[in-house]
Amino acid sequence: MKVLIDRELNNDNKLSKPDMSQKSCRELYVVYLQSKFGQLFEYDKANSSPIIKNVKTDFVQRFSNRLINNPNKKILIGISGASASGKSTICSTIREVSNILRLPISVISTDNYFKDISLLIKKYGNFDNLRDNGYDIDSPDGFQLDVLKIDLEEISMGNDILSPKYLPNGTGVSVPKSIPVKSNKIIVVEGTASLYIKDLFDINIFIETNDEKRKERFLSRAVSERNQDLENALKHWNYIIKAGEKYIKPNMSAIDIVLDGDSDLEYFKQIIEYIHTITNNFRK
């Protein structure tokens, strides 16, 4: 990937910075981007461990039309995946590279849009008992989807928001309007709930990892980081598998790009750097 980046940086025939207020300039810029992303896709395909597993056939043209016809709207990217697929790691990497390269990216976690279930947890004693009595936290009904949709519409139009905060301490408490999120050029929305919001995202990305590796990651994290006993962790893993079949698979038609959640993160960082380069490397 460094070869592509260096080639762009040392290119003597760079594009002049387009005047995005002119539709003809946006059209030219989109043709340029299509060419550069085509190079990226081909390079990745030839890589010994490609990260891009699939791209929907109509995605490039659809996204191109969006850039041409609605250039001022912020770019919303949904990143979803089953539990322990690697989506949080991918989003953490995006944050890290964004800080280094000073990219105009904000990240929203849909986990903060879980409904407040503190009264239910008090009633049943703890979350595990609540789950065992049939509460389905991964269901669309488990999220404040109306609040999420309003927040995403606001931020996509350039307005900063205050997202809720779901406390990760087992109390099930959700604190409204707690986390400030800036309306940057690119908004990354991490979590399964992004699949439940239709016709709002410009790009829907799914992180995919085989079930065996996911199970290994999940159990290791549950025991070492969350202090769960193995029996309870396995019980929750079985719930996750059923929830994936019930809620994720039926929504896969919305996915534009599938990424390998077990890919080399250094290589993924270089891909982000390449995208940054081709979208900012203009003739001076």
157 phi and psi, to 5 degrees?
Answer: -95, 5
**Whole-number pLDDT of residue 199:** 87
Q: Taking a C-beta distance cutoff of 8 angstroms, is the pair 133, 187 a contact?
A: no
CA distance 78 to 72: 19
The residues near 281 (Cβ < 8 Å, ≥ 6 apart) are 8, 9, 11, 14
Distance of CA 273 to the CA centre of its chain: 17
| Ordered per-residue pLDDT tens for the chain, 284 residues | 888 899 888 888 888 888 999 999 999 999 999 999 999 999 999 999 999 999 999 999 999 999 999 999 999 999 999 988 999 999 999 999 999 999 999 999 999 999 999 999 999 999 889 988 989 888 999 999 999 999 999 999 999 999 999 998 889 999 999 999 999 999 999 999 999 998 899 999 999 999 999 999 989 888 777 777 888 889 889 988 998 899 999 999 999 999 999 999 999 999 999 999 999 888 76
- What pLDDT is stored for residue 173 in this prediction? 97
- DSSP letter at 168? T
230: buried, middle or exposed (CB in 10 Å: 19+, 13-18, 0-12)?
exposed
Query: CA gyration radius for the chain?
Result: 20
Q: Read off the pLDDT of residues 27-85 as tens digits, 9 standing for 90 and up.
A: 999 999 999 999 999 999 999 999 999 999 999 999 999 999 999 999 999 999 998 89
How high is the pLDDT of residue 214?
93
Q: What single-letter amino acid sits at 69?
A: N
Q: Do residues 273 and 97 touch, judged by C-beta distance below 8 A?
A: yes
Instruction: Give pLDDT, residue 143.
Output: 96
DSSP 194: G
Domain 52-262 belongs in CATH node 3.60.15.10: no
* pLDDT for the residue 254: 92
Please enumerate in sequence order all residues whose Cβ is within 8 A of that of 8, keeping only pairs 6 or more positions apart, or say none. Answer: 36, 274, 277, 278, 281
| 3-state SS track over 210-241 | CHHHHHHHHHHHHHHCCCCCHHHHHHHHHHHH
- Report pLDDT for 41: 94
Domain locations in the chain? Answer: 1-51+265-284, 52-262
Report the pLDDT value the prediction gives residue 284, as an integer from 0 to 100. Answer: 67
Element (H, E) at 78: strand 75-81
Write the DSSP symbol of residue 114.
Answer: B
Residue with tokens 């996204």: 63
CA 6, CA 165: separation in Å to the nearest integer? 41
pLDDT (0 to 100) of residue 110: 96
Q: Cα(132)–Cα(239) distance, rounded to whole angstroms?
A: 9
Reported as type and span, the H/E element at residue 259 is strand 257-260
The confidence score (pLDDT) of residue 159 equals 97
| Residue-level pLDDT at 198 | 83
Cβ proximity of 132 and 138 under 8 Å:
no
pLDDT at position 2 is 86
Of the CA atoms within 13 Å of residue 269, those in its CB half-sphere come to 13
